[in-house]
Structure 1
Amino acid sequence: MTMTDLQAFDVETDDHGVTTVTLIGPGRGNAMGPEFWTELPALFARLGTDPGTRAIVLTGTGSCFSVGLDLKRVAEPEFLPAVRDRAMAADRLTLLQRLRQLQAAMTAVADCRKPVLAAIHGWCLGGGVDLAACVDVRYCSADAVFSIREARVAIVADAGSLQRLPAIIGDGALRELALTGKDIDAARALQIGLVNEVLPDRDAVLRRAVDTAREMAANPQFVLHGIKDVLAQQSASAVAGGLNYVTAWNAAFLPSHDLAEAVVALGERRPPVFSDN
């Protein structure tokens, strides 16, 4: 993979060693389709060992950070098997393995030895929150909206929000967001500690993230790696265990009539009518 081959990201590095990784789709709202899940782990593995990269800023192009999973594309059987049909053990095992590949893509960001910051504007939904939970520092613009939305499309969130956010926002706030699937604004995100600071607009939040990344980039790289490694040990086993558990759960229960209804309703631009089945 070369930087020019990427379909889901644009990558630029400045003279301070700060690499800005911009989500560019190709789905509307920087939706996370197959390209995203394939390219993300390879990209962060490369940046993690790139001597020219000393810190990383993640942001989104257009009107938002990311609307999350591209449900219609990812739900196709060739990408997520057993989503639509009643599956036997072999198919569920294939689904389990695919879900763990998706988790590994996000974990590549969390495990990156370089500092990673997120500059969030507009919508940050579902997988967008999963991605934000993987970084070290989060800033957002005043128009940012966050939602752990998976419950509203008949999915138990399985890409890391349920495992990583307790250490960031606490158990109570996480349960409120995950069980309701509600939207929260930038002020509420700041109040619960989901973001470090709220800036007026996208340009301001990106400047703040880049400025902070440059401060980090000026420090010795082995020290930054050590700080991240030490901090990660506090929750590493709980996160890993939780990720494994939720893939087993979803391999068993993700295929449902309600998920199929959610996909259809999305295409028809209407609220889903769930049957608890």
Structure 2
Amino acid sequence: MTEWKAFTVESKDRVARVTLIGPGKGNAMGPDFWRELPLIFGELDADPEVRAIVLTGSGRHFSYGLDLAAMGGTFGPVIADRGLAAPRTEFLDEIRRLQASVTAVADCRKPVIAAVSGWCIGGGLDLIAAADIRLASADAKFSLREAKVAIVADVGSLQRLPGIIGEGHLRELAFTGKDIDAARAEKIGLVNDVHADQDATLAAAHALAEEIAANPPLVVQGVKDVLDQPRSRQISEGLRYVSAWNAAFLPSEDLTEAITAVFEKRPPNFHGQ
């Protein structure tokens, strides 16, 4: 059994449970998360004993999203580059590495069910958008928050959510960075069902996974492959486009202000520079 730093992985009765465990507060996504996620889903994809996967978070919250403190080095060089090509190329490579981590969840041949409680912010929303099915507890809250920190979301939400919640709802969430509760998430189709609490949500996710696992595994994988086919090229092209866009345009005074405001615990003051 591999020892992971940002996850626990356990399997029983043909269902694997992948649990985010940090080490950042609120299961924030730091370097260990991005490194381990594709390795875990690659192993589960290749494991013939696993037929379905439940993805959840430890503690009260699914994920606060990108760990800005731990990942600050990702933005530093490109912010300071003054237009130099090398730092922007390195930043482009880094964006595509993060994208590939989340895409490993979407590309896993085994159906993935996300069980969400508490906050699911930014990168957390990218992650559950890559799952096949999403369930939530009544206390769950969701936010496509990147616009509030001067970032164009670039790890999959803008590419995958149109097929889940539709263009209008996505544009509202992406333009505003607003928070929505579990009831609204269910109404717009972001989650299939809402359950009373975290335990009930996790139990429902496992029951659904076991129901899937009882079916012929190659047929289930074939269904997923067929359903994914019409959108896979569009998603891939969209991810490449946004990574190039951010490598070119993300460095800004507004981004510096957003990151500074987070660490100084104050509202940002953006000037469009």
Query: What TM-score, normalized by structure 1, do the two folds share?
Result: 0.96
Pairwise CA distance, 1:275: 2.0
Deviates more, 1:179-188 or 1:267-276: 267-276
Question: What corresponds to 1:160 in structure 2?
Answer: 156
Choose from 125, 139, 142 the match for 1:143: 139
Pairwise CA distance, 1:84: 4.1
- Give the counterpart letter for 2:156 in structure 1: G
The 5-angstrom pairing of residues 169-208 of structure 1 reads 169-208=165-204
Provide structure 2 residue ranges, at least 5 long, that are not aligned to the other structure: none
Indicate the SS of the match to 1:19. strand
Question: What corresponds to 1:233 in structure 2?
Answer: 229
Question: What corresponds to 2:100 in structure 1?
Answer: 104
Question: What corresponds to 1:126 in structure 2?
Answer: 122
The 5-angstrom pairing of residues 58-69 of structure 1 reads 58-69=55-66
Q: Does the CA-based 8 Å contact 1:81-1:94 persist in structure 2?
A: no
Offset from partner CA, 1:151-182 (integer Å, 9 cap, x none): 00000000000000000000000000000000
Pairwise CA distance, 1:269: 1.3
The answer to whether 1:39 aligns with 2:39 is no
In structure 2, what is the Cα distance between the partners aligned to 1:272 and 1:114? 42
- Give the counterpart letter for 2:97 in structure 1: Q
Pairwise CA distance, 1:82: 1.2
In structure 2, what is the Cα distance between the partners aligned to 1:147 and 1:185? 9
Q: Does the CA-based 8 Å contact 1:75-1:83 persist in structure 2?
A: no
The 5-angstrom pairing of residues 207-246 of structure 1 reads 207-246=203-242
Indicate the SS of the match to 2:56. strand
Pairwise CA distance, 1:92: 0.9
Aligned length: 273
Q: Alpha carbon RMSD of aligned pairs, Å? A: 1.2
Offset from partner CA, 1:71-97 (integer Å, 9 cap, x none): 2221215x7741444241121111111
Question: What corresponds to 1:75 in structure 2?
Answer: 72
Q: Does the CA-based 8 Å contact 1:145-1:184 persist in structure 2?
A: yes
- Give the counterpart letter for 1:3 in structure 2: T
Question: What corresponds to 2:6 in structure 1?
Answer: 8
Identity between Structure 1 and Structure 2 (%): 60
The 5-angstrom pairing of residues 262-273 of structure 1 reads 262-273=258-269
Choose from 35, 52, 55 the match for 1:55: 52
Deviates more, 1:91-100 or 1:142-151: 91-100
Provide structure 1 residue ranges, at least 5 long, that are not aligned to the other structure: none
Deviating 4+ runs (over 4 angstroms): none
